[in-house]
Structure 1
């Protein structure tokens, strides 16, 4: 239900905000979880939040399960023709103050809807990936002209947009995804869970939590495990997550004759309990912002070996909070994993320092406070302008 004009004015004066998060992906990975975390967090801080996601998408289902207000899109092959009017109606009916876009299609259509709306909402484009953005005219519009600001999940992504795409530094803000420290904290390993997975109590255990996409480098992890088996025959590996690369990865596991030691668990809700089982958490990505699996693992004091790409080196200082490796190199990856397995005290020390870093810089509260600050900084001047012309 829409607010009255008087109520709307009061809510703006007290900086209560109605926030629309948009996402066009059907899947569920770190990007979609970020949308969910921000939406839940802002609602807990007293703001009204709407999540717009495709009908049948995993984000829409999970957001509803968590009690968030969800509006589903059904664009089909006529995305532009249906989504711009859809977002325009939503902005008007829900009296949206902030439009925060996350995907590609929704960023175009929701941003245009926001720009032509009499509501004059602020528009934020969040860039989650470290993949370079094209310098074409259309992308200059998408990142430069349509949004009032761009947020990124790490400083490396921010610098790329500033140097490569020539965005003004004042309009690009790095806000890494926060970790729920009440959920992700050091805790005892669950022997019953380990047994249920078919992993022996004395077996060294490595693994990854990821959405199965090519850029996540899971084939490199599997190849590193093959090399490690020659040195550590009892080694076992957990790959936790689902996605489009599952079939390809299963084929590679069979080719390397690793079916007996690589356990693909699919999507799981019990991530903290699974992380406690791992002697080493591996992040062999080819491109990243700051992956949530990294900050979650460090929050639980797990030793980490990760690719030196994207925003990862912002968190992992080699030999201090984890070990860095070049991407696409299973030989070096296997050596670094073996080092931690053979030097558990070093791994434990890096995990402890890693948790301190997460507590200081990557907590959920830090993320929400920074995001809220960006919203409010842009929100007040726009409201003053719209009030002057009312």
Structure 2
């Protein structure tokens, strides 16, 4: 290809708006790709008037047009609504060099459509959600994605191992790309404690996540019941929305924790909320490299997280936070209480976590890695060649 022209890159995600970290990361990467070297299109495959409203409300589309990124929304009416893919197929056939998909659904369709359109390079970005070995997903991974994609981007060593074992991916196709987050712009802090009616002396334990089974918030609520006995006045704040909310609210009521566990739903002031936490928690059953944990690290918070997936790649136990076994509310409560009762330890771990996030998990590190992969694939290098380059 003509290396003097911009590479045409299409990023494919299933949804955007109140979605989780993978979609946010995809958007952050697209926004920061060098516009002098890359012609960028951001495609959302499940789009509608309602989803557009949700995305606008969440600020998910902010900055795309200003950055020169083309947006393409496909109004799919169901999984097998094949006609909805026509605009994307046309775009790919018009000269796209790379299609970069995120998560299982988009990876499947990118593998199929990229092959049909003869797109030179197909990149599958895995974020752990598909890594559970379900028979259908395993079949799709092995027969479609593993066979068709030119490169797989893994966000952790755990994910790389699961790709090989469960999805049957050729190890030579896998490239490790660390997740990163941007430094937030300066702004005037808001007194969230006052807004929430929480006194200055009450410790706040918080988490930010989509309310899905994966996040094991039932375990966090169980831990809150233990904490409330040990530290009267403690507040546990859960920020996020999702299908598990009714079940979680019932669990809170059964424990009599109304007022102790506070569910805030979707919020636009997440940065201020995180800044109000004394201890941040990630109670997940499985994870890749969760952006929420990176945000806690960036804020210099004391963190308690489950020892699963890529989390140990972020947090050294006793060095950048405390790690606990999954589904152990007693251990979770004990580690949280330890940090709340030892301000010196909490401060030290938080400071070391922030230092590590800045040096190793900044969005600039992620974007530079992705740009190198794009240009390498376009020049004829393989994923094996690129994976060997630091």
* Count of residue pairs the alignment pairs up: 368
Residue in structure 1 matching 2:63, options 62, 66, 71: 66
Measure how far apart 1:188 and its partner are.
9.5
Alignment RMSD = 2.4
TM-score of the pair, normalised by structure 2: 0.87
**Match of residue 4 from structure 1:** none
**Match of residue 23 from structure 1:** 13
Deviations 1:254-300 (Å, cap 9, x if unpaired)? 11111112111111222221111101000000010010011111111
**Match of residue 303 from structure 2:** 304
**Match of residue 88 from structure 2:** 87
Measure how far apart 1:104 and its partner are.
3.0
Q: In the alignment, is residue 47 of structure 1 matched against residue 49 of structure 2?
A: no
Rounded Cα–Cα distance in structure 2 between residues aligned with 1:63 and 1:243: 17
Measure how far apart 1:78 and its partner are.
5.5
Measure how far apart 1:85 and its partner are.
3.4
Q: In the alignment, is residue 247 of structure 1 matched against residue 254 of structure 2?
A: no
Rounded Cα–Cα distance in structure 2 between residues aligned with 1:230 and 1:223: 12
Deviations 1:336-376 (Å, cap 9, x if unpaired)? 00000001110110111111211221111000011111111
Rounded Cα–Cα distance in structure 2 between residues aligned with 1:121 and 1:60: 31
For structure 2, the residue ranges without an aligned partner over 5 or more in a row are: 383-390
Measure how far apart 1:121 and its partner are.
3.0
Measure how far apart 1:229 and its partner are.
0.5
Q: Secondary structure at the match of 1:79?
A: coil
Q: Secondary structure at the match of 2:301?
A: coil
- Counterpart mapping for 1:172-321 below 5 A: 172-183=174-185, 190=190, 192-321=191-320
Q: Secondary structure at the match of 2:316?
A: coil
**Match of residue 366 from structure 1:** 365
Given that 2:5 and 2:37 are in contact with CA atoms closer than 8 Å, whether structure 1 keeps it comes out as no
**Match of residue 171 from structure 2:** 169
TM-score of the pair, normalised by structure 1: 0.87
The structure-2 alpha-carbon separation of the partners of 1:148 and 1:60, relative to structure 1 and needing over 3 Å to count, comes to farther
- Counterpart mapping for 1:32-181 below 5 A: 32-42=23-33, 47-53=38-44, 54-56=46-48, 57=51, 61=56, 62-68=59-65, 69-77=70-78, 79=80, 81-93=82-94, 95-118=95-118, 120-129=119-128, 131-133=131-133, 136-181=138-183
Rounded Cα–Cα distance in structure 1 between residues aligned with 2:5 and 2:365: 19
- 71-80 vs 343-352, greater mean Cα deviation: 71-80
The structure-2 alpha-carbon separation of the partners of 1:137 and 1:251, relative to structure 1 and needing over 3 Å to count, comes to closer
Rounded Cα–Cα distance in structure 2 between residues aligned with 1:328 and 1:341: 21
Given that 1:302 and 1:348 are in contact with CA atoms closer than 8 Å, whether structure 2 keeps it comes out as yes
Given that 2:125 and 2:153 are in contact with CA atoms closer than 8 Å, whether structure 1 keeps it comes out as yes
For structure 1, the residue ranges without an aligned partner over 5 or more in a row are: 1-8, 384-390
Measure how far apart 1:77 and its partner are.
2.9
Rounded Cα–Cα distance in structure 1 between residues aligned with 2:23 and 2:106: 13
Deviations 1:313-354 (Å, cap 9, x if unpaired)? 111111011000011111110000000000111011011111
Rounded Cα–Cα distance in structure 1 between residues aligned with 2:84 and 2:140: 18
Given that 2:286 and 2:309 are in contact with CA atoms closer than 8 Å, whether structure 1 keeps it comes out as yes
The structure-2 alpha-carbon separation of the partners of 1:321 and 1:78, relative to structure 1 and needing over 3 Å to count, comes to closer
**Match of residue 385 from structure 2:** none
Rounded Cα–Cα distance in structure 2 between residues aligned with 1:259 and 1:22: 41
Rounded Cα–Cα distance in structure 2 between residues aligned with 1:64 and 1:30: 15
Measure how far apart 1:17 and its partner are.
1.9
Rounded Cα–Cα distance in structure 1 between residues aligned with 2:199 and 2:62: 35
- 29-38 vs 339-348, greater mean Cα deviation: 29-38
Measure how far apart 1:110 and its partner are.
2.6
Q: In the alignment, is residue 332 of structure 1 matched against residue 334 of structure 2?
A: no
**Match of residue 386 from structure 2:** none
